[in-house]
Amino acid sequence: MGGAGRARARPPSGLILVDASTPSPEPMSEERRAAMEAWWADGEISREDAAAYVAANLASPAVPEAVRATAIADVRRTARTAWLEWLRRGSLEDRSAEVGALRTRAVVIVGAEDPDLGARNQERLTLPHVPGAPVHEVDGAGHDALLEQPVEVARFVSGFVREVAGRAPLPAAFARLIASDRVSARTRRVMLARLGDPAEGPRALNPAQHALLTAVLARVLPQRGVHLDLAARLDAVLGAGQGDGWRFAALPPDAEAWRRGLDTIADGAPGFASLDAAAQDAVLDRIEAGELGSDAEGRLSADRMALWFQDVRAEAVRVWLSHPAAQAWIRYDGFADGGDDERKQGFTTTRAGEWEAWQRDWRTGKELQA
């Protein structure tokens, strides 16, 4: 085919790593390596040894027998040469320099009970090559997460696909900062967990309340640069009983307060979502001034609405600013004050407008200039 008709290869939109081996030598004891090689001493692996290999990679024996039998048969179909080459050479190769740091968005999915290639080793050995990738642990799974918990793995995969389709990637320069030794492993895990969609689980709001909250938040916090579904994230927080740890004594518990506040707006300003921006702002101004409320059952009085609206504004800003993409957009790097070593790097330059060398490195990245 001529050059004009040749299809251009598109770069991948995302990379999903499930129970992945690492570019560096795979963490494995020499005792285990020798035992796995001995299984092939007679030219082929026995059913008993294949079953032992499968069992060693599972977190529990609760896998359906048909699935277990298929896995054992797959092991026995493995070519002896391939198995031994992997043990003696492939698993010992260090390809870290060749792989480098990939710019493709990625997600790492591992079994929570995988002793060799679980979250800790993936963060240490894989994340430097896919900076910014979240590491999702699948409960009730060992090294064969897809075998043991296929529905849970599919949930993580589906969520990642939705993210790739609908959200801009975390700037590579900021992802590299998160992956650097200036950030502790605990802080890194928290930040990466915030990249995903709101966790599935109970929600506090019904569909009408959720739609109204979406309209309210669009006026409370008009997003620039980074667009998050704040209503979904706040609904998930309320449904999980989480929050910032305090509330006004005059208000009921958070989830109930938010339901009552939204229902009070629905009564006092019917069709709020269809109003123009100026009219919506006027309604919110009345709430802030303590002029909109109701003494009806299940509603909030005007003075309590004013208190609740303070919570709405504070929570909207808190949730938005806690997201790594938002922090990258406003050039915030205060979390990068030290890694896991006993001696923390900290900051040596604290004057306004002055940056340290490492700050200049990530802040001047081309992907942040848009």
Q: 28-82: per-residue pLDDT in tens? A: 888 989 999 999 988 999 999 999 999 988 988 888 899 899 999 999 999 999 9
Farthest-apart Cα atoms in the chain, separation: 85
Greater pLDDT, 317 or 11: 317
For 346, the 3-state DSSP assignment is coil
The pLDDT tens digits for 166-204 are 554 578 888 889 988 899 988 998 888 888 767 666 689
pTM of the complete model: 0.56
For residue 367, is pLDDT > 50?
A: no
Quick one: average pLDDT of 297-302?
A: 97
According to the model, what pLDDT value does residue 199 have?
A: 61
Spell 164-197 as b/e; 16+ CB within 10 A means b. Answer: beebebbbbbbbbbbbbebbbeebbeebbebbeb
> Which residues make beta-bridge pairs with 96?
none
- Please state which architecture CATH assigns to domain 13-167: 3-Layer(aba) Sandwich (3.40)
Structure tokens at 133: 């990738």
Structure tokens at 30: 């020499």
Quick one: average pLDDT of 7-35?
A: 80
Domain limits of the chain?
Answer: 13-167, 207-322
The pLDDT tens digits for 90-134 are 999 998 888 887 767 788 899 999 988 888 888 888 878 886 677
What secondary structure does DSSP assign to 86-134, as a single string?
A: HHHTGGG---HHHH----S-EEEEEETT-TTTSHHHHHHHTTTTSTT--
Q: Could you tell me if 122 and 110 are in contact, meaning their C-beta atoms sit under 8 angstroms apart?
A: yes
> How many CB atoms lie under 10 A from the CB of residue 13?
11
Greater pLDDT, 333 or 171: 333
| Angle, helix 207-220 to helix 230-239, in steps of 10 degrees | 130
| Residue written as token pair 């009085």 | 301
According to the model, what pLDDT value does residue 200 have?
A: 64
In terms of average pLDDT, the best of 9-13, 153-157, 224-228 is 153-157
Local confidence band at 351 (pLDDT 50, 70, 90 cut-offs): confident
Chain centroid to Cα 186, Å, comes to: 14
DSSP 352: T
The pLDDT tens digits for 221-269 are 988 777 788 898 999 999 888 777 888 999 999 999 999 999 999 999 9
| Residue written as token pair 């890694």 | 339
> Which residues make beta-bridge pairs with 136?
109
Local confidence band at 3 (pLDDT 50, 70, 90 cut-offs): very low
Structure tokens at 172: 């590579």
Contacts with 227 (C-beta within 8 Å, 6 or more apart), sequence order: 167
What secondary structure does DSSP assign to 295-341, as a single string?
A: -STTS--HHHHHHHHHHHHHHHHHHHHTSHHHHHHTT--TT-SB-SS
For 4, the 3-state DSSP assignment is helix
Structure tokens at 102: 């990939």
Separation of alpha carbons 140 and 324, rounded Å: 29
Local confidence band at 293 (pLDDT 50, 70, 90 cut-offs): very high
Q: Could you tell me if 290 and 306 are in contact, meaning their C-beta atoms sit under 8 angstroms apart?
A: yes
In Å, what is the CA distance from 72 to each residue of 4, 20, 68, 105?
Answer: 49, 20, 6, 33
Structure tokens at 343: 């001696």
In terms of average pLDDT, the best of 117-121, 223-227, 306-310, 329-333 is 306-310
According to the model, what pLDDT value does residue 213 have?
A: 93
According to the model, what pLDDT value does residue 316 have?
A: 95
According to the model, what pLDDT value does residue 39 have?
A: 93
Name the residue type at position 72: I
The DSSP H or E segment spanning 83 is helix 80-88
Structure tokens at 29: 């004891």
According to the model, what pLDDT value does residue 2 have?
A: 37
Instruction: Give, in degrees to the nearest 5, the angle at Cα 164 between 163 and 170.
Output: 85
According to the model, what pLDDT value does residue 1 have?
A: 31
The pLDDT tens digits for 312-328 are 999 999 999 999 989 98
Q: Is 36 exposed, middle or buried (0-12, 13-18, 19+ CB in 10 A)?
A: buried
> How many CB atoms lie under 10 A from the CB of residue 198?
21
In Å, what is the CA distance from 128 to each residue of 193, 276, 284, 293?
Answer: 17, 47, 46, 53
Q: Could you tell me if 151 and 62 are in contact, meaning their C-beta atoms sit under 8 angstroms apart?
A: no
For 241, the 3-state DSSP assignment is coil
For residue 5, is pLDDT > 80?
A: no
Greater pLDDT, 356 or 243: 356
Local confidence band at 7 (pLDDT 50, 70, 90 cut-offs): very low
Quick one: average pLDDT of 320-349?
A: 89
Quick one: average pLDDT of 158-166?
A: 70
The DSSP H or E segment spanning 259 is helix 254-268
